[in-house]
Amino acid sequence: MGRFVNPDNSAFQVALNSEIYIDKTGLLELTNKVLNTTDGYICNSRPRRFGKSITANMITAYYSKGCNSETMFQGLAISQKKDFKQHLNKYDVIHLDIQWFLSNVKNTDDIVFYITNSVIEELKKIYPKELIGNDITLPEALSQIKEKTGQKFIVIIDEWDVLIRDEAANKKIQEDYINFLRGMFKGTEPTKYIQLAYITGILPIKREKTQSALNNFDEYTMLDAQQMAPYIGFTDEEVLQLCKKYHRDYKQTKQWYDGYILEEEQIYNPRAVVSLMTKGKYKSYWSETGSYKVLVPLINMDFVGIKTSLIEMLSGTPVEVDVSSFVNDISSISCKDDVLTYMIHLGYLGYDQNKEKAFIPNEEIRQELMKAVKKKSWHEFDKFQMESVKLIESTMDMDSHVVAEQIDKIHTEYTSMISYNNEISLSSVISIAYLSTMDYYFKPIRELPTGRGFADLVYIPKPEYLGCYPALVIELKWNTAVQTALNQIKEKKYPEALLEYTGDVLLVAINYDKSSKRHQCMIEKYSK
Reported as a single tens digit per residue, the pLDDT across 219-244 is: 999 999 999 999 999 999 999 999 99
Q: In the Cβ-directed half-sphere of 218, how many Cα atoms lie within 13 Å?
A: 15
What lies within 8 Å, CB to CB, of 492 at 6+ separation is 450, 451, 452, 453
Tell me, what's the pLDDT at 316?
86
pLDDT more than 70, % of the chain: 92
Pick among 1.10.3430, 1.10.3720, 3.30.450, 3.40.50: CATH of 10-220: 3.40.50
Q: Any idea which fold 379-525 has?
A: Trna Endonuclease; Chain: A, domain 1 (3.40.1350)
List the strands of the sheet with 357-359, edge to edge: 319-320, 357-359, 350-352
- Rounded Cα distance, 346 and 371, in Å: 16
- Rounded Cα distance, 231 and 54, in Å: 11
Domains 10-220 and 379-525 equal at CATH topology level = no
- Rounded Cα distance, 137 and 451, in Å: 68
- Rounded Cα distance, 272 and 284, in Å: 7
Give 163-217 pLDDT, tens digit per residue: 988 887 788 898 899 999 999 999 999 999 999 999 999 999 887 655 567 889 9
* DSSP structure class, residue 205: P
Identify whether the C-beta of residue 312 lies closer than 8 Å to the C-beta of residue 435. no
- Rounded Cα distance, 390 and 434, in Å: 10
pTM > 0.85:
yes
b/e per residue 194-232 (b: at least 16 CB within 10 A)? bbbbbbbbbbbbbbeeeebbbebbebbbbbebeebbbbb
- In the chain, what's the furthest Cα-to-Cα distance? 89
Give 318-369 pLDDT, tens digit per residue: 999 999 989 888 888 889 999 999 999 999 999 999 999 999 999 999 988 8
Burial class (CB in 10 A: 0-12, 13-18, 19+), 38: exposed
The ranges assigned to domains in the chain are: 10-220, 234-376, 379-525
Closest CA to 395 of 484, 488, 472, 456: 472
Give 261-297 pLDDT, tens digit per residue: 999 899 999 999 999 999 999 998 876 655 667 777 8
Q: Which residue has the higher pLDDT, 452 or 377?
A: 377
- Rounded Cα distance, 256 and 401, in Å: 34
| CA 291 remoteness from chain centre | 13
- Rounded Cα distance, 396 and 472, in Å: 10
- Rounded Cα distance, 214 and 157, in Å: 14
Give, in degrees to the nearest 5, the angle at Cα 269 between 50 and 291.
Answer: 75
Mean pLDDT computed over every residue of the chain: 89
Identify whether the C-beta of residue 93 lies closer than 8 Å to the C-beta of residue 65. yes
- Rounded Cα distance, 524 and 528, in Å: 12
